[in-house]
A and B are shown apart, each in its own frame.
With several copies, the nearest count.
Chain A
Amino acid sequence: MAAVRTRRDRSQTRIDDYLLSEAQLEEMYYHMLLARRLNERMLALNRQGRAPFVIAGAGQEAAQVGAAMALKKGIDYVAPYYRDLGVNLVFGMDAREAMLNLLAKRDDPNAFGRQMPSHWGNRERHVVTQSSVVATQLLHAVGIALAAKMRNDPIVVLASCGEGSTSRGDFHEALNFAGIHKLPVIFYIENNGYAITERTDKEMAIEHVADRARAYGIHGAVVDGMDAIRVYQTVAPAVAETRGGGGPYLIEAKCYRLWAHSSDDDDSRYRTKQELEEWARKDPIKLFRERVESDRIFPPEDLDEIEQRVDDEVKEAAQWAASQPDPAPEDALGFVYKEL
């Protein structure tokens, strides 16, 4: 995990209401904010014609960072999906790498320019490589959990996807297998209300994806995905339970896609300004700051300082990454097969 440069030594002691320490809360804010600011910069670069494609997690930072922080870095695995910049930051990606990924630079540690941006993957960091095909990763997560169980490794795998992606057969097959073998997997659904243009009622006839847990004999939970602290407080005990052999979880984080689907999408054709404005008021980063400020966890200056640090990092990273080498044309070749 990228070291979070704390302003002063934060307390490691849990704050009762939060179940999180000051240090963790700072990390939480830092990662959420970094995800947002990186995404903003990425979109700006796209609008300037300097980045061909952006797909972002704006509105889902709390869902992502809160869940990822409930895992043990270096031990647990994540099989994330394209919006999960927040998850990746928690798992050790830094701003520079995020920018290398955006620009498909030769040294992007995720895909070396071979995949679209936001297709994560890093073996050493336990981030499972992913394609654009949604929901396939749920089965990979199950396979990792099966293997770990066979080896008696006490790990947990968190696999995430959008609510629309739960319509695919692979979702069913993954949860079914995990249920049968009581595997240590958290299926984590970031329900942001849309699958590109389709609202949730086009994807399912039920209100909560999490209600599907019963169909597989596994645990289900719904959490307010705009509240990072609640997310953490929901996912952390589930992680502990599944690690202890309690079987898989299906957790649904209710959130909202604050931006269009991607830089190629025009969302004005299928949703109203009014809807957007309503949700903007629930912005997870804004909410978080308001809460920790009103609870006086940190002085506002500290939070401002984190904001400043994030801005600096993003700016520096964008500049640095732009100057990094592109892949050569013939870098298209190689590694079709692994040689050991």
Chain B
Amino acid sequence: MAEMTVIEAIRSTLAEELTSDDRTFILGEDVEAGGVFRATEGLAARFPGRVIDSPLAESSIIGISIGAAHYGMRPIAEIQFADFIHAGFDQLCSEASRWSYRTKGDSWLPMVVRTPWGGGVHGGQHHSQSIEAYYCHMPGIKVVAPSFPADYRSLLRAAIEDPNPVLFLEHKRTYRLIKQDVDDAPAETRLGRSRITRRGNDLTIYAYGLMLHESLAAADTLAGEGIDCTVVDLLTLNPLDKETVLEAAKMTGKVLIVHEDTLTGGFGGELAALIAEHAFEYLDAPIRRVAGPDIPAMPFHHAMEGFFMPNRDKIAAAARDLAAY
């Protein structure tokens, strides 16, 4: 048992995977020097030739990883900030997501694209974005967004071992903020499973990333007020664990969906639609969403950033309304 931050969980898992599977390698900007968040610190020296600085070109980071994965390697690409993945959208959408489908499984791509996402770090418009909605609408790509260090470890390992392209989202605000005692033994988390982290009968909150922690904090506060929340840590966003999602909705009949991403067209819409179709008869209240406002991306100034970011207070306020409905 050791206490680990999120970034330590990631770094240690990368080191373990580089050790145990010589098909793995890391490709990304500045990764040899350790990367801007130091996720790859020390790895270039330990694994010579297997931690590779790419030129400043995101389409190539993804496209080259595709080629290497096709050849049988297990590339772990790093996109320095999720905000810069957009130039790689075409390679992910037109190529990676369809590699297996269009060859009926003759070819496949065991590759991971790791990238720091999310706000609350004074990153402004281009260092704070949530990108999951785009990739949750891309069958063929798996999207993972853990919240706790232990899950970062087990899901990153699972992502690397998965024969499909996995977008591995690391909430940058949590890198050093969230700590947890982590077992040496691999955790049980699997790709494609969500987890009911807390059980309560009054309403269900769905969240991932930083917002999962904010939701848990809100649930604590609410418990003191006699409102008992179920909190679902979604973990894998695509493909979604519909079973757990629906089970949790049916349990409480009231649901609150939380994400940092802007509201309209965000991932919460899909969750709400699923529940409104498949748990309709259990619903006791309108489906509520707490999300970023419909502006292009998070503004820089801390006052406006605070306005943008959902947090425990906004979540608790929405939950109170819902409980009272």
Contacts and interface: CB of A to CB of B under 8 A. Distances in A.
A47 to B, nearest CB: 16
B269 interface: no
A195 B56 contact: yes
Range of interface residues on chain B?
A: 35 or more
Contacts of A104: 300-301
Interface string B268-305: 00000000000000000000000001111001111111
Interface string A104-128: 1000011111111101011110001
Interface residues of A, number: 76
B244 interface: no
A337 B293 CA distance: 14
B200 interface: no
Contacts of B66: 139-140, 143
Contact of B164 (A176, A326, A338): A338
A53 B63 CA distance: 28
A143 B304 contact: no
Contacts of A269: 33-34
Given A104-B300, A164-B55, A327-B303, A150 B49 contact: yes
Nearest to A79: B67
Contact of A143 (B64, B99, B305): B64
A131 interface: yes
A31 to B, nearest CB: 23
Given A111-B103, A333-B295, A338-B163, A140 B57 contact: no
A316 interface: no
Interface stretch (B120-128, B150-158, B229-237, B245-253): B120-128
B102 A129 contact: yes
B56 A140 contact: no
A334 B125 CA distance: 15
Given A109-B106, A142-B60, A170-B60, A114 B54 contact: no
29 contacts: A52-B122, A77-B71, A79-B67, A109-B106, A113-B300, A121-B102, A123-B103, A129-B102, A129-B106, A132-B124, A134-B56, A139-B66, A142-B60, A142-B63, A143-B63, A143-B64, A143-B75, A177-B64, A195-B30, A195-B56, A197-B53, A198-B55, A202-B53, A265-B36, A327-B301, A327-B304, A329-B307, A331-B304, A336-B296
Interface of A: 52-53, 77, 79, 104, 109-117, 119, 121-124, 128-129, 131-134, 136, 138-148, 150-151, 164-165, 167-170, 173-174, 176-177, 180, 195-198, 202-204, 264-265, 269-270, 326-340
